[in-house]
Copies of this chain bind each other. A is one copy, B any other.
């Protein structure tokens, strides 16, 4: 029972997320409503709200799932080169779903507990990738600078001051400055 039950629930959740992503691609995040996602998933809006804490939660969850499929860059080349690769891997992945990226930036600022939980995980994921690209011996300040610059770039892209496609190129010299290119 419990396995069948949770299968049913899992199905519903998956249908909701799939519908959310489809809706996002089709109408964009401004026009997306929880009810339209529910309808697309073939589920009532009350049901949607039992799985989605909020619109923000939907966006953040979709982003988190999407991000997890970003390839992990391999650890060859110079330190700066490795970090640049890590950055490129992330931005490339993010740029694949521009509407999702646009949606998640404000959503990440939400105050739902679900949003908060995921936001910590996302931050930790970025940190882990930079950490491993940097290798040992990188100072705390360097790690923090990288993370802040990357967050800043995401924010700028979210505000439309930079496209997700150009993020990696814009960040490359910034990474060089922070990590030290010599």
The proximity string for A residues 47-80 relative to B, scoring 1 for CB distances below 8 Å and 0 otherwise, is 0000000000000000000000000000000000
Q: With contacts A152-B148, A156-B148, A156-B151 known, is A173 near B108, CB below 8 A?
A: no
Q: Does A109 contact B (CB under 8 A)?
A: yes
Q: Which segment of A2-10, A12-20, A32-40, A137-145 sits at the interface?
A: A137-145
A170 and B150 CA atoms in complex are apart in Å by 16
Taking a contact as CB atoms under 8 Å apart, the answer to whether A149 and B145 are in contact is: yes
Interface size on A, residues (CB 8 A): 36
Oligomer: number of copies: 2
Least CB distance, A160 to chain B, in whole angstroms = 8
Q: Mark A151-182, 1 if CB is under 8 A from B, else 0.
A: 11111101111000000001101101110000
Residue of A148, A156, A171, A174 with highest tally of chain B CB at under 10 A: A148
- Asked if B141 contacts A177 (CB within 8 A), the reply is yes
In the bound assembly, the distance between CA atoms of A159 and B148 in angstroms comes to 13
Q: Is the CB of B141 within 8 A of A148?
A: no
Taking CB atoms, residues of chain B closer than 8 Å to A150 are 148, 152
How far, in whole Å, are A144 and B167 apart by their CA atoms in the complex? 12
Docked Cα-Cα span, A141 to B153, in Å, equals 13
Does A30 have its Cβ within 8 Å of any Cβ on chain B?
Answer: yes
Residues B173 and A140 in contact, CB atoms below 8 Å apart: yes
A127 to chain B, nearest CB (A): 11
CB-nearest residue of chain B relative to A110? B106
| In the assembled complex, A113 has its CB within 8 A of some CB on chain B | no
- List 10 extra interface pairs beyond A140-B173, A149-B149, CB under 8 A: A116-B160, A141-B174, A141-B177, A145-B149, A148-B156, A148-B171, A149-B152, A151-B156, A155-B155, A177-B178
